[in-house]
Chains A and B, each alone.
Chain A
Amino acid sequence: MPETVIVDYDAGNLRSVQRACAEVGLAAEISADPARLRRADRIIFPGVGQAGSAMATLNRTGLADALRERLGEGVPVLGICLGLQISLDHSEEGDTPTLGLVAGETRRFQFDDPSLKVPHMGWNTLSLRQLHPVLEDLHEDDAFYFVHSYYTAPQDPAVVLAEVTYEQPFCCALGKDNYVGVQFHTEKSGRAGLALLARFAAWDGVFKAAAGEASRAH
C-alpha cells in the first residue's frame, strides 16, 4: 500500500493540502515524525510562514535529514510555496541557510514600480519552460493561486520548469530528479491545481532536466 506523507513542521495549515489530495484520490497522512517520513514512498512538503523558524524546526526534529535521505532514495517529493523556497541554498528571509537541494537562493521582491503590491497575491498564469510529468497537459489560460513576498532564483536555468510574471518573470516551478517544487498553492488553485496534484500522485519520480544541474549531489 503506497504511503504518502505531508510533512508537518509547524508551517501553516496542512489540512488544505490533505483535503485536496483526498479529492484526487491520494490518501495522505500528516506527520512530524522523521521515522514515518523514512517509510513514505511519496512526500508532500508544503508550508507557509517564515523560512528561519521553518528551518529551525526541520533541523531540530530531524525532519530535514529524513527528507534528504528519502530524496536520495528516489522518492517523489513535491514542495509547495515555502516548501519550494527552502529547497534552495539560502533565503534572504531572516538570512537563513536552507536545505540546499537545488543551487540558488530565495529573494525578497524588489520592484521598480512602487505601486506594485507585496505579497504577489492572487491568480496568475504560467509560462512553461520545459516539459515535466507533473506539469503535463496545462492549458495556457490555467491560473494558479499565489501568495508570497519572496521568490526563488535557482542558479541553473535548466531546473526551471515554469515562470510567472509579476513585473518581471520569475521561476515558479522547478524540477530536479525526483524533487519538484511549485510556488503557487496547488491545493487552492481550483481544478487546475487538483489536476497537478493528481499528476504528482501518479508520478514515478523520474525526470531529467534539460541540461546542467542534474549531477549535483543531494
Chain B
Amino acid sequence: MLTKRLIACLDVRDGKLAKSVKFVDTKDIGDPVAKAREYYDDGLDELVFYDITASSDERRIMLDVVEAVAAEVFIPLSVGGGVRTVADATDLRLAGAEKINVNSAAVQRPGLIDECAHALGNQNVVLSMDVLCVEASAAVPSGYEIVINGGRLRTGRDALAWALEGVKRGAGELVVNSIDADGTRDGYELALTRLLSEAVRVPVIASGGAGRPAHLVEALTEGAADAVLVASMVHFGDYRCSELKQALADAGLPMRMRW
C-alpha cells in the first residue's frame, strides 16, 4: 500500500541553517548535513531544502550542502528557493536534488514551470505556493490568494486557479504553504489543503502550522494531503521523526515503519 510521507524542511538562509539550530558561523555548513543524517537514520521519508536567499555565493553554499547531503542520505531530496531558470534547476539536480521547487519566479513567469518540466520531467518539478486567506472576490474567488517573495508581496492571483494552471503546465506535485498557519503551531490550514488536493490529480504536500502529531493526522485525513511537511516540530527536538511516524501509524494511516 502506498504510504503517506513525512517530509522535513530545512531552511537555509545566507548559507546557515535557519530554524533548526542557532549557529552563527557561516562556514559551519556541516550542520545541515548532520541534521539530514539524523532524520534519515530516524526514518524520515523525504527531505526538503529551501534556500531563502539567492546571491551567487549563497547559491554555491547551497549546492555544497545539497551535494554533501546527497552523498549520505538515500531518500528523495527536494530543493527550492531562488530557482529562476532551468540552469538553476539543473545545477541543483547535478548536486543531487531529485525534485526542484519553484515558487515566486514561477508566479512572475509561469513558463518557468513548462521549461523545468520539459528539462527534468514533470515528476521532478514541485510547485510551492505561499497562500493567504482573504475575502473572496472576483479576482480571488476561492478566497485564497497567492503571495510571493517569502510572504511579502500579494499578487491578486487566486490560489486554486494557480494550482490548476501550475499542474497543467507540468508541475508534478504541489506544496501548499499557508501563511496564516505558518509558525502558529495551531495546525495546518485544512480547508485550503483539501480544496487544492481535491482539485488536482498530482500529490499535495501540506505545509505550515504543524505543532502536534494530531495536526499531521488531520492534514492527511480531513486535509486529504498525500504528505505532511514539518520543520519546527522536529528541529527543536520536541518530536523525533520516528515518533511522528508512529503516531500517524497508530492513527491508522499507512506509513513506512521499517528503515
Contacts and interface: CB of A to CB of B under 8 A. Distances in A.
Contacts of A116: 201
A31 B202 CA distance: 33
Contact of B74 (A48, A123, A187): A187
A123 to B, nearest CB: 4
Nearest to A141: B258
A119 B172 contact: yes
Contact of A48 (B40, B70, B123): B123
Given A119-B123, A139-B258, A148-B123, A125 B1 contact: yes
A190 B121 contact: no
A141 B257 contact: yes
Contact of A122 (B2, B74, B202): B2
B104 interface: no
Contacts of A23: 72, 74
Contacts of B201: 116-118
Contact of A16 (B45, B98, B256): B98
A149 B121 CA distance: 11
Contacts of B227: 122
A122 B226 contact: yes
Contacts of B114: none
B123 A115 contact: no
Contact of A194 (B45, B74, B173, B256): B74
Chain B at the A interface: SS class: loop
B94 A149 contact: no
B123 A123 contact: no
Interface residues of A, number: 41
Contact of B76 (A115, A188, A192): A188
A170 interface: no
A121 B122 CA distance: 12
A46 interface: no
A7 B155 CA distance: 45
B3 A143 contact: yes
Interface string B135-174: 0000000000000000000000000000000000000110
Contact of A190 (B3, B71, B122, B259): B259
A138 to B, nearest CB: 11
B40 A124 contact: no
A13 interface: yes
Residue from A50, A142, A188 whose CB has the most chain B CB atoms within 10 Å? A188
Contact of B258 (A20, A143, A149): A143
Contacts of B71: 19
Instruction: In the A-B complex, list the 6 residue pairs whose CB atoms are closest, starting with the nearest.
Output: A141-B258, A143-B256, A123-B256, A147-B123, A123-B3, A124-B2
Given A50-B121, A122-B2, A124-B3, 7 more contacts: A13-B98, A49-B121, A122-B45, A188-B75, A188-B76, A190-B259, A192-B259
